[in-house]
Amino acid sequence: MLKIKDLHAGVEDKKILKGIDLEMKPGEIHAIMGPNGSGKSTLASVITGKEDFEVTQGKILFEGEDLDDLSPEERAHRGIFLSFQYPVEIPGVTVTNFMKTAINETRKARGLEEMPANEMLRQIREKAELLEIDRKFLSRSLNEGFSGGEKKRNEIFQMAMLEPKLAILDETDSGLDIDALRVVAAGVNRLRNQENAFLVITHYQRLLDYIVPDFVHVMHDGKIVKSGTKDLALELEEKGYDWIKQEAVL
């Protein structure tokens, strides 16, 4: 599904990603861990096409297609989704209206008719329930004045609505208390199937107790320095990141 080959990317003169290789197949959950500043969020931004970053070497293939020339919305229309670490506040646009626009623009790009209003409403209610989101919440301005937990829950709600093939969850666990974490993780697990894949970026092992990864990769200084199974995450939890850093230097 996703093939990243020798990816180098950065902002202006600053190199951030220094040769990433990663392959993900449908049905898999991959976790990316690593200390702050190792390039985890940059990887998410580059996969989703943020214009601030420039790819200087290597490529990203999604279902065999090179993403390089595609805009963020074109990537979204192909089924790539990013749950933001810091969702942006958009005053004046309600959650419901944003969702309707996102769904219908995606459908339009895929050559489908707009979703009928009653079907849209039904889906919004169903998915909101899945994430234990209050109805009133849906008529509030997108992310404006939301608590950290509400913002993250709202991101996963959007994911549930858009049903992406590849979902990137960037630090979805940060700012969540344990109850919210359970709700979010249960949502993710419900949406998981043999056709989609998840890339879970996290600093801590905690989230991986609930969303169990097939593979764990550790990033340091713009590279994946170690890959393994979920046991690697436990090892990191126990020993911290210092030994990885030392290993990387050696």
Partner 1 sequence: MDLKDKLLASFMAFENQVDIDNPVHEIRSEAIRIFENKGFPHRRMEAWKYTSLAGLQQVDFSIFPKESQGLEYKDVKRYFLHETDTYKIVFIDGIYSSYLSETTHDGVDICLMSAALNKPMYKPVIELYFNRAASREDSLTNLNTAFTREGAYIYIPKNKAPRKPVEILHLATGNEASLMLQPRNLIVVEENAELQVIERHQSLTTNEVLTNSVTEIFAGQNAIVDYYKVQNDKQSASLIDNTYIDQKKGSQVSVHTFSFGGKLTRNNLNFHQDGQHVNSVLKGVTILGEKQHVDHHTLVHHQQPDSESHQDYKGIFGEQSTGVFNGKIIVDRIAQKTNAFQQNNNLLISDKSSVNTKPQLEIFADDVKCSHGCTVGQLDRDALYYLRTKGIPKREAEALLMYAFANNVLESVRIPALKLRINKLIADKLEVRLGFDL
d(CA 133, CA 126): 10
> What kind and span of H or E run contains 200?
strand 197-201
Are 1 and 24 in contact by the 8 Å Cβ rule? The answer is yes
User: Which residues, in sequence order, are CB contacts of 89 under 8 Å at separation 6+?
Assistant: 141, 142, 143, 144, 145, 146
The answer to whether 8 touches 55, Cβ cutoff 8 Å, is: yes
Nearest to partner 1 of 155, 173 (CB atom): 155
How many angstroms separate the CA atoms of 157 and 160, rounded?
Answer: 5
Least distance (Å) between residue 169 CB and partner 1: 13
Task: Please report how close the Cβ of residue 49 comes to partner 1 at its closest, in angstroms.
Answer: 8
Summarize as ranges the residues that interact with partner 1 (CB under 8 A): 48-51, 71-73, 75-77, 81-82, 84, 87-88, 90-94, 96-98, 100-106, 109, 114, 158, 162
Closer CB to partner 1, 35 or 72, in the complex: 72
Closer by beta carbon to partner 1, 62 or else 81: 81
- Of 34, 25, 29, 65, whose CA–CA distance to 47 is shortest? 65
Q: Which is nearer to partner 1, 191 or 234 (CB)?
A: 191
Contact between 216 and 21 (Cβ < 8 Å): no
Judge whether 163 and 193 are in contact, CB under 8 Å: no
Least spacing, CB of residue 99 vs partner 1, in Å = 9
For partner 1, the closer of residues 10 and 49 by Cβ is 49
Q: How far is CA 52 from CA 7, 13, 17, in A?
A: 16, 12, 14
- Is 197:62 a contact under the CB 8 Å cutoff? no
Q: Which is nearer to partner 1, 154 or 205 (CB)?
A: 154
**Total length of the chain:** 250
Smallest gap, in angstroms, from Cβ of residue 36 to partner 1? 20
Q: Shortest distance, CB of residue 212 to partner 1, whole angstroms? A: 26
CB of 127 to partner 1, least distance (A): 14
Query: What end-to-end distance do the CA atoms of the chain give, in Å?
Result: 33
